[in-house]
Chains A and B, each alone.
Chain A
Amino acid sequence: MEPRNICVFDFETTGLNPQVNEICQIGAVMIERNQLKVIDRFESLMQPTDWENVEEEALKVNGLTREQLLAAPETPVVWQNFANWIAQYRIDNKAFFAPIPAGYNINGFDLKFVNAYCLKYGPYDNKYQRQSLFSDFMRYDVMDLMAFFTESNRDLGNMRLTTVLEYMGVPKSELNAAHNAVWDAEQTARILIKLLKLSRYLGGRNNETNKRRLEFAGALINA
Chain B
Amino acid sequence: MLDIYTIPVDDEETWNLIGEGKTKGIFQLETSLGQTWCKKIRPRNIDQLAAVISLIRPGCLKAMSGDGENRKSMTQRYADRNRGEEEITYLHKALEPILNQNLGIQIFQEDSIKIAQEIAGFNLQEADLLRKCIAEGCIIYTNSGPYKIEDLASRQTTLPKILTVDKNGKLVYKKIKDVWSSGKQRVYRLSTQNGCYIELTKKHKVFTQDGWKPLEQITKEDFVIIPNNYTYKGNSRTNITEADAILLAYLISERCHRKSGTKITNANKWILDVIRKNCKKANVVYKEYYHKNGCVDIYIHGQYRDWLRKTIEYNKSRYKTIPESIANGMNGNATVFVAHYFNGDGCVNKTAATFYSTSKNIIDVLQALLLRNNIHSSISQKNSTYLGKPYVSYCLNICGRYNIRLFLNTYHKHICPQKKNKLKKMLINMNQQTYANERFLVPVCFMQAATQDINVNCVFGIPNFHGNRNWTYDTARRLNNYIDSPLLTDILNFEYKFVKVKDIKYIGFKETYDYTVDDRDTHYGFINQILVANSIGKKDAAMMSKLESQFIEGCVKTGKVDRVVAEEIFSWTRESQKYSFNRSHAVSYAMNGYRTAYLKSHYPVQFFAAWLLGSQWKSDPQRAVHEMVNDARNFGIIVNPPSLLFANPTTHIHNNQIYFGVGEVNGIGKAGLVKTRKVINEWEEKLSKPLEKFSPSQFIIGIANNINNTVAEALIWSGAVDWLRMSRTSLIFYLQQYKKLSKGEKVWCENNVVDDYIATLKSCGRLKKEGGGIHSKNRLSTFASIVDALENPPHSLEDNRYKIITKEKQYLGISLTLSQSDMYHLQKHGNTNCGELNEGVEGNNLLLPCTIVEVSTTITRKGNDVGKEMAFINVEDGFGVLDGIIAFAQSWQNCKDSLYVGNNVVMRLRSGRDCYFLESVYTEDAL
Contacts and interface: CB of A to CB of B under 8 A. Distances in A.
A221 B261 CA distance: 10
Interface in B830-889: 851, 854-859
B901 interface: yes
A94 to B, nearest CB: 11
A74 B904 contact: no
Given A35-B902, A204-B901, A44 B856 contact: no
B800 to A, nearest CB: 5
B802 interface: yes
A34 interface: yes
B803 interface: yes
Contact of B795 (A40, A73, A93, A206): A40
B794 A81 contact: yes
A182 B733 CA distance: 21
Interface string A61-82: 0000000000011101110111
Interface stretch (A11-19, A83-91, A99-107, A148-156): A83-91
A206 B856 contact: yes
B781 A207 contact: no
Nearest to B898: A197
A47 B902 contact: no
Contacts of A222: 259
B782 to A, nearest CB: 6
B900 A85 contact: no
A207 B856 CA distance: 5
Bin chain B's interface residue count.
35 or more
Interface string B778-799: 0001101110110000111000
Contact of A201 (B782, B788, B900): B900
A207 B851 contact: no
A78 B794 contact: yes
B824 interface: yes
A43 B856 contact: no
A45 B283 CA distance: 80
A42 interface: yes
B789 A77 contact: yes
Interface in A177-204: 197, 200-201, 203-204
B806 interface: yes
A73 B902 contact: no
B789 A81 contact: yes
Contacts of A43: 794-795
Contact of B803 (A74, A88, A197, A204): A88
A221 B732 CA distance: 58
B902 A36 contact: yes
Residue among B740, B795, B800, B903 with the most chain A CB within 10 A? B795
B795 A32 contact: no
A205 interface: yes
Nearest to B899: A201
Contacts of B851: 34
Nearest to A90: B806
Interface string B798-817: 00101100100010000000
Nearest to B795: A42
B789 A82 contact: no
Contact of B782 (A32, A77, A84, A204): A77
A41 B789 contact: no
A204 B857 contact: yes
A201 B852 CA distance: 12
A85 B795 contact: yes
Contacts of A168: none
B789 A35 contact: no
A50 interface: no
B894 interface: no
Interface in B875-926: 900-904
B260 interface: yes
A81 B736 contact: yes
Contacts of B803: 88-89
A39 interface: yes
B902 A42 contact: no
Contacts of A41: 795-796
Interface string A26-65: 1000001111100111111001000000000000000000
B789 A39 contact: no
Nearest to B855: A204
A88 B789 CA distance: 18
B795 A91 contact: no
Nearest to B794: A44
A44 B796 CA distance: 12
B785 A77 contact: yes
B859 A34 contact: no
A218 B260 CA distance: 10
B531 to A, nearest CB: 52
Contacts of A40: 795-796, 800
B788 A73 contact: yes
Nearest to B666: A93
A46 to B, nearest CB: 10
A174 interface: no
A82 B824 CA distance: 26
B902 A34 contact: yes
A43 B792 CA distance: 10
A2 interface: no
A125 to B, nearest CB: 20
Nearest to A221: B259
Given A40-B795, A205-B856, A221-B259, A35 B781 contact: no
Contact of A84 (B736, B806, B858, B903): B736
Contact of A77 (B260, B732, B786, B802): B786
Given A42-B795, A208-B859, A80 B740 contact: yes
Contacts of B857: 204, 207-208
Contacts of A42: 794-795
A26 B789 CA distance: 14
Nearest to B824: A35
B716 to A, nearest CB: 12
A92 B807 CA distance: 9
Nearest to B901: A200
A200 B824 CA distance: 20
A74 B781 contact: yes
A203 B794 CA distance: 37
B774 to A, nearest CB: 15
A35 B788 CA distance: 34
Residue among B800, B802, B803, B854 with the most chain A CB within 10 A? B802
A197 B902 CA distance: 10
A64 B675 CA distance: 49
Given A204-B856, A208-B858, A47 B794 contact: no
Contact of B903 (A35, A89, A93): A35
A222 B305 CA distance: 12
Contacts of A92: 810
Contacts of A44: 789, 794
Contacts of A36: 902-903
B869 to A, nearest CB: 8
Contacts of A88: 729, 732, 803
Nearest to B900: A200
Contact of A85 (B786, B794, B854): B794
Nearest to A71: B788
A26 B786 CA distance: 17
Interface string B718-743: 00000000000100110010001000
Contacts of B784: 73
A170 B733 CA distance: 36
A156 B851 CA distance: 37
B795 A34 contact: no
A143 B806 CA distance: 31
9 contacts: A26-B794, A32-B802, A36-B902, A41-B795, A44-B794, A77-B789, A206-B854, A206-B856, A221-B260
**8 A-B pairs with least C-beta separation:** A73-B785, A206-B856, A44-B794, A74-B785, A200-B900, A42-B795, A204-B855, A73-B788
Given A77-B785, A85-B794, 14 more contacts: A33-B902, A40-B795, A40-B796, A47-B785, A72-B785, A74-B785, A76-B782, A80-B736, A81-B789, A200-B902, A201-B900, A204-B855, A206-B854, A222-B259
